[in-house]
Chains A and B, each alone.
Chain A
Amino acid sequence: MPFKRYVEIGRVALVNYGKEYGRLVVIVDVIDQNRALVDAPDMVRGQMNFKRLSLTDIRIDIPRVPKKKTLIAAMEAADVKNKWENSSWGRKLIVQKRRASLNDFDKFKVMLAKIKRGGAIRQELAKLKKETAV
Protein backbone atom coordinates (compact mmCIF):
# COMPACT_ATOMS: atom_id res chain seq x y z
CA MET A 1 0.00 0.00 0.00
CA PRO A 2 1.75 3.18 -1.05
CA PHE A 3 1.65 6.35 0.98
CA LYS A 4 -1.17 8.77 0.39
CA ARG A 5 -0.34 11.69 2.65
CA TYR A 6 2.93 13.36 1.87
CA VAL A 7 4.82 16.12 3.58
CA GLU A 8 4.76 18.82 0.94
CA ILE A 9 4.33 22.54 0.65
CA GLY A 10 0.66 23.25 1.19
CA ARG A 11 -0.16 20.15 3.21
CA VAL A 12 -2.55 20.89 6.06
CA ALA A 13 -1.63 19.22 9.32
CA LEU A 14 -3.01 19.00 12.82
CA VAL A 15 -0.76 19.70 15.76
CA ASN A 16 -0.97 16.75 18.12
CA TYR A 17 1.44 17.64 20.91
CA GLY A 18 2.54 20.63 22.87
CA LYS A 19 1.31 24.12 23.37
CA GLU A 20 -0.37 24.38 19.94
CA TYR A 21 -2.33 21.17 20.41
CA GLY A 22 -5.39 20.89 18.21
CA ARG A 23 -4.52 23.65 15.78
CA LEU A 24 -4.70 23.28 12.02
CA VAL A 25 -1.52 24.50 10.35
CA VAL A 26 -0.15 24.56 6.83
CA ILE A 27 3.34 23.33 5.97
CA VAL A 28 4.93 26.19 4.05
CA ASP A 29 8.47 24.86 3.80
CA VAL A 30 10.67 22.01 4.92
CA ILE A 31 13.72 22.89 7.00
CA ASP A 32 15.31 19.49 7.15
CA GLN A 33 14.43 15.89 7.74
CA ASN A 34 12.70 16.48 11.04
CA ARG A 35 11.35 19.99 10.95
CA ALA A 36 8.99 22.05 8.88
CA LEU A 37 8.21 25.72 8.68
CA VAL A 38 4.57 25.93 9.60
CA ASP A 39 2.04 28.72 9.35
CA ALA A 40 -1.58 29.40 10.20
CA PRO A 41 -3.69 32.52 9.74
CA ASP A 42 -3.64 33.38 13.42
CA MET A 43 -0.14 32.49 14.50
CA VAL A 44 3.41 33.65 13.88
CA ARG A 45 5.16 31.48 11.35
CA GLY A 46 7.41 29.05 13.16
CA GLN A 47 9.20 25.75 12.96
CA MET A 48 7.71 22.52 14.18
CA ASN A 49 8.96 18.98 14.40
CA PHE A 50 7.13 16.43 12.25
CA LYS A 51 6.62 14.37 15.36
CA ARG A 52 4.18 17.00 16.56
CA LEU A 53 2.18 17.02 13.34
CA SER A 54 -0.50 14.67 12.03
CA LEU A 55 -0.90 15.06 8.29
CA THR A 56 -4.42 15.43 6.92
CA ASP A 57 -5.86 14.74 3.49
CA ILE A 58 -6.25 18.42 2.73
CA ARG A 59 -3.70 20.15 0.55
CA ILE A 60 -3.76 23.73 -0.69
CA ASP A 61 -1.95 25.35 -3.58
CA ILE A 62 0.66 27.80 -2.39
CA PRO A 63 4.10 28.81 -3.55
CA ARG A 64 7.02 28.14 -1.28
CA VAL A 65 6.85 30.30 1.87
CA PRO A 66 3.99 32.55 0.87
CA LYS A 67 3.16 35.90 2.41
CA LYS A 68 0.50 35.83 5.11
CA LYS A 69 -2.07 37.43 2.80
CA THR A 70 -1.42 34.86 0.03
CA LEU A 71 -1.73 32.08 2.56
CA ILE A 72 -5.04 33.33 3.90
CA ALA A 73 -6.36 33.83 0.36
CA ALA A 74 -5.32 30.32 -0.65
CA MET A 75 -6.90 28.85 2.45
CA GLU A 76 -10.16 30.65 1.66
CA ALA A 77 -10.03 29.50 -1.97
CA ALA A 78 -9.51 25.89 -0.97
CA ASP A 79 -12.10 26.27 1.79
CA VAL A 80 -9.93 24.44 4.29
CA LYS A 81 -12.11 25.26 7.28
CA ASN A 82 -15.29 23.79 5.83
CA LYS A 83 -13.54 20.78 4.35
CA TRP A 84 -12.03 20.05 7.74
CA GLU A 85 -15.25 20.47 9.67
CA ASN A 86 -17.13 18.22 7.25
CA SER A 87 -14.52 15.49 7.21
CA SER A 88 -15.10 12.60 9.58
CA TRP A 89 -11.88 13.37 11.48
CA GLY A 90 -12.84 17.01 11.92
CA ARG A 91 -16.38 16.14 12.99
CA LYS A 92 -15.09 13.70 15.59
CA LEU A 93 -12.87 16.38 17.09
CA ILE A 94 -15.72 18.87 17.23
CA VAL A 95 -17.92 16.33 19.01
CA GLN A 96 -15.13 15.52 21.46
CA LYS A 97 -14.70 19.18 22.26
CA ARG A 98 -18.42 19.64 22.75
CA ARG A 99 -18.62 16.68 25.08
CA ALA A 100 -15.69 17.91 27.12
CA SER A 101 -17.24 21.33 27.60
CA LEU A 102 -20.62 20.12 28.90
CA ASN A 103 -21.65 21.39 32.28
CA ASP A 104 -23.58 19.29 34.78
CA PHE A 105 -27.00 20.37 33.53
CA ASP A 106 -26.03 19.52 29.96
CA LYS A 107 -24.86 16.10 31.10
CA PHE A 108 -28.21 15.57 32.81
CA LYS A 109 -29.98 16.47 29.58
CA VAL A 110 -27.77 14.02 27.68
CA MET A 111 -28.64 11.29 30.18
CA LEU A 112 -32.38 11.90 29.70
CA ALA A 113 -31.99 11.90 25.93
CA LYS A 114 -30.07 8.62 26.03
CA ILE A 115 -32.76 6.98 28.17
CA LYS A 116 -35.45 8.22 25.80
CA ARG A 117 -33.58 6.91 22.77
CA GLY A 118 -32.98 3.55 24.47
CA GLY A 119 -36.70 3.31 25.28
CA ALA A 120 -37.70 4.03 21.68
CA ILE A 121 -35.24 1.41 20.34
CA ARG A 122 -36.52 -1.22 22.74
CA GLN A 123 -40.13 -0.49 21.81
CA GLU A 124 -39.37 -0.99 18.11
CA LEU A 125 -37.42 -4.16 18.88
CA ALA A 126 -40.33 -5.55 20.93
CA LYS A 127 -42.70 -4.78 18.04
CA LEU A 128 -40.46 -6.57 15.53
CA LYS A 129 -40.03 -9.55 17.84
CA LYS A 130 -43.79 -9.92 18.22
CA GLU A 131 -44.23 -9.89 14.41
CA THR A 132 -41.59 -12.58 13.78
CA ALA A 133 -42.75 -14.71 16.73
CA VAL A 134 -46.31 -14.75 15.47
Chain B
Amino acid sequence: MGNFRFHQYQVVGRALPTATDEHPKIYRMKLWATNEVRAKSKFWYFLRKLKKVKKSNGQVLAINEIFERKPTKIKNYGIWLRYQSRTGYHNMYKEYRDTTLNGSVEQMYNEMASRHRVRCHCIQIIKTATIPSKLCKRESTKQFHDSKIKFPLVFKKVRPPTRKLKTTYKASRPNLFK
Protein backbone atom coordinates (compact mmCIF):
# COMPACT_ATOMS: atom_id res chain seq x y z
CA MET B 1 0.00 0.00 0.00
CA GLY B 2 1.25 3.45 -0.66
CA ASN B 3 3.27 4.68 -3.53
CA PHE B 4 3.40 2.43 -6.54
CA ARG B 5 5.63 3.12 -9.45
CA PHE B 6 3.18 1.60 -11.89
CA HIS B 7 -0.38 2.82 -12.00
CA GLN B 8 -3.18 1.06 -13.79
CA TYR B 9 -5.03 3.17 -16.33
CA GLN B 10 -8.06 2.57 -18.51
CA VAL B 11 -7.62 4.32 -21.85
CA VAL B 12 -10.50 4.60 -24.30
CA GLY B 13 -9.89 5.80 -27.82
CA ARG B 14 -10.94 5.57 -31.40
CA ALA B 15 -9.95 6.73 -34.85
CA LEU B 16 -11.10 10.16 -35.84
CA PRO B 17 -14.41 10.16 -37.69
CA THR B 18 -13.94 10.60 -41.41
CA ALA B 19 -16.24 11.02 -44.36
CA THR B 20 -16.30 7.27 -45.04
CA ASP B 21 -16.61 6.18 -41.43
CA GLU B 22 -18.85 8.39 -39.37
CA HIS B 23 -18.79 6.30 -36.20
CA PRO B 24 -15.53 4.42 -35.85
CA LYS B 25 -15.27 1.61 -33.33
CA ILE B 26 -14.22 2.62 -29.85
CA TYR B 27 -11.50 0.62 -28.18
CA ARG B 28 -10.64 0.34 -24.52
CA MET B 29 -7.40 -0.83 -23.01
CA LYS B 30 -6.27 -1.39 -19.48
CA LEU B 31 -2.58 -0.88 -19.13
CA TRP B 32 0.17 -0.07 -16.65
CA ALA B 33 2.30 3.02 -16.88
CA THR B 34 4.09 5.33 -14.52
CA ASN B 35 1.94 8.31 -15.45
CA GLU B 36 -0.97 9.33 -17.65
CA VAL B 37 1.14 10.68 -20.50
CA ARG B 38 2.97 7.40 -20.79
CA ALA B 39 -0.29 5.52 -20.58
CA LYS B 40 -1.69 7.34 -23.59
CA SER B 41 1.49 6.72 -25.51
CA LYS B 42 1.38 3.02 -24.71
CA PHE B 43 -2.24 2.92 -25.75
CA TRP B 44 -1.38 4.10 -29.25
CA TYR B 45 1.57 1.72 -29.41
CA PHE B 46 -0.64 -1.28 -28.77
CA LEU B 47 -3.54 -0.05 -30.83
CA ARG B 48 -1.29 0.52 -33.82
CA LYS B 49 -0.32 -3.14 -33.68
CA LEU B 50 -3.93 -4.27 -33.57
CA LYS B 51 -5.79 -1.84 -35.82
CA LYS B 52 -4.93 0.53 -38.64
CA VAL B 53 -4.96 3.69 -36.54
CA LYS B 54 -2.30 6.06 -35.30
CA LYS B 55 -2.23 8.89 -32.78
CA SER B 56 -2.30 11.38 -35.62
CA ASN B 57 -5.61 10.10 -36.95
CA GLY B 58 -7.15 9.04 -33.66
CA GLN B 59 -8.33 10.52 -30.42
CA VAL B 60 -8.27 9.44 -26.80
CA LEU B 61 -11.76 9.72 -25.41
CA ALA B 62 -11.08 8.99 -21.77
CA ILE B 63 -8.27 8.05 -19.49
CA ASN B 64 -8.99 7.05 -15.92
CA GLU B 65 -6.84 5.59 -13.24
CA ILE B 66 -8.06 2.32 -11.84
CA PHE B 67 -7.65 1.82 -8.12
CA GLU B 68 -7.77 -1.32 -6.10
CA ARG B 69 -11.20 -2.26 -4.93
CA LYS B 70 -10.25 -4.12 -1.76
CA PRO B 71 -6.69 -3.26 -0.77
CA THR B 72 -6.99 -5.05 2.55
CA LYS B 73 -7.76 -8.45 1.07
CA ILE B 74 -4.91 -10.76 0.12
CA LYS B 75 -5.24 -12.15 -3.37
CA ASN B 76 -3.27 -14.39 -5.66
CA TYR B 77 -2.49 -12.65 -8.92
CA GLY B 78 -1.55 -14.39 -12.14
CA ILE B 79 0.27 -12.27 -14.70
CA TRP B 80 0.77 -13.31 -18.30
CA LEU B 81 3.55 -11.39 -19.95
CA ARG B 82 5.61 -11.19 -23.10
CA TYR B 83 9.18 -10.08 -22.69
CA GLN B 84 12.21 -9.56 -24.83
CA SER B 85 15.34 -11.35 -23.80
CA ARG B 86 18.75 -11.08 -25.39
CA THR B 87 17.84 -13.82 -27.84
CA GLY B 88 14.20 -13.22 -28.68
CA TYR B 89 10.67 -12.81 -27.39
CA HIS B 90 9.15 -15.18 -24.85
CA ASN B 91 5.86 -15.59 -23.05
CA MET B 92 5.67 -16.16 -19.37
CA TYR B 93 3.13 -16.75 -16.65
CA LYS B 94 3.94 -15.64 -13.11
CA GLU B 95 2.03 -15.77 -9.87
CA TYR B 96 2.20 -13.32 -6.98
CA ARG B 97 0.53 -13.03 -3.65
CA ASP B 98 -0.31 -9.44 -2.76
CA THR B 99 -3.06 -7.17 -1.55
CA THR B 100 -3.25 -4.95 -4.63
CA LEU B 101 -2.84 -5.52 -8.35
CA ASN B 102 -0.46 -2.59 -8.66
CA GLY B 103 1.69 -4.10 -5.92
CA SER B 104 1.89 -7.44 -7.68
CA VAL B 105 2.70 -5.77 -11.03
CA GLU B 106 5.51 -3.91 -9.31
CA GLN B 107 6.71 -7.22 -7.81
CA MET B 108 6.64 -8.69 -11.30
CA TYR B 109 8.77 -5.93 -12.78
CA ASN B 110 11.27 -6.23 -9.97
CA GLU B 111 11.42 -9.99 -10.27
CA MET B 112 11.88 -9.92 -14.04
CA ALA B 113 14.66 -7.41 -13.64
CA SER B 114 16.44 -9.47 -11.02
CA ARG B 115 15.85 -13.00 -12.31
CA HIS B 116 16.05 -12.40 -16.05
CA ARG B 117 17.76 -9.01 -16.36
CA VAL B 118 14.77 -7.72 -18.32
CA ARG B 119 14.15 -3.98 -18.05
CA CYS B 120 10.64 -2.65 -17.74
CA HIS B 121 10.42 -1.31 -21.27
CA CYS B 122 11.00 -4.79 -22.66
CA ILE B 123 7.99 -6.25 -20.84
CA GLN B 124 4.44 -6.25 -22.17
CA ILE B 125 1.68 -7.35 -19.86
CA ILE B 126 -0.76 -9.48 -21.78
CA LYS B 127 -3.23 -10.25 -19.07
CA THR B 128 -3.65 -10.18 -15.33
CA ALA B 129 -6.19 -12.00 -13.23
CA THR B 130 -6.94 -12.79 -9.63
CA ILE B 131 -6.65 -16.52 -9.24
CA PRO B 132 -8.61 -18.44 -6.64
CA SER B 133 -6.38 -20.50 -4.38
CA LYS B 134 -7.37 -23.83 -5.94
CA LEU B 135 -6.14 -22.85 -9.39
CA CYS B 136 -2.73 -21.55 -8.44
CA LYS B 137 0.06 -23.30 -10.21
CA ARG B 138 3.20 -22.21 -8.46
CA GLU B 139 4.37 -23.94 -5.30
CA SER B 140 5.78 -20.74 -3.89
CA THR B 141 2.31 -19.14 -3.77
CA LYS B 142 0.53 -22.35 -2.82
CA GLN B 143 2.66 -22.78 0.30
CA PHE B 144 0.93 -19.76 1.86
CA HIS B 145 -2.55 -21.19 1.32
CA ASP B 146 -2.68 -22.50 4.85
CA SER B 147 -5.21 -21.19 7.30
CA LYS B 148 -3.05 -22.31 10.23
CA ILE B 149 0.18 -20.98 8.86
CA LYS B 150 2.94 -20.81 11.41
CA PHE B 151 6.66 -20.26 11.06
CA PRO B 152 9.38 -18.71 13.18
CA LEU B 153 11.42 -15.72 12.14
CA VAL B 154 14.76 -17.44 12.09
CA PHE B 155 17.18 -14.62 11.46
CA LYS B 156 16.31 -11.59 13.51
CA LYS B 157 18.38 -8.66 12.35
CA VAL B 158 18.83 -5.95 14.97
CA ARG B 159 17.97 -2.62 13.42
CA PRO B 160 18.05 0.90 14.88
CA PRO B 161 14.54 2.35 14.84
CA THR B 162 15.57 5.34 12.80
CA ARG B 163 18.36 5.79 10.30
CA LYS B 164 19.76 8.58 12.41
CA LEU B 165 20.79 6.11 15.12
CA LYS B 166 22.71 3.97 12.67
CA THR B 167 26.42 3.44 13.51
CA THR B 168 29.10 1.68 11.53
CA TYR B 169 30.67 -0.02 14.53
CA LYS B 170 28.96 -1.72 17.43
CA ALA B 171 30.33 -2.23 20.91
CA SER B 172 29.17 -5.85 21.16
CA ARG B 173 28.19 -8.56 18.74
CA PRO B 174 24.44 -8.40 18.09
CA ASN B 175 22.30 -11.37 19.11
CA LEU B 176 20.46 -12.54 16.01
CA PHE B 177 18.35 -15.22 17.69
CA LYS B 178 14.79 -14.05 18.28
Contact = CB atoms under 8 A, between A and B. Distances in A.
B159 A46 contact: no
A32 B144 contact: yes
> Size range of the interface on B?
20 to 34
Contacts, number: 57
Given A5-B178, A45-B72, A30 B161 contact: no
Nearest to B150: A8
B176 interface: no
Interface in B131-162: 141, 144, 147-154, 157, 159, 161-162
A63 to B, nearest CB: 8
Interface residues of A, number: 25
A117 B145 CA distance: 58
A51 B99 contact: no
B125 to A, nearest CB: 20
A8 B152 CA distance: 9
A16 B161 CA distance: 6
A6 B150 contact: yes
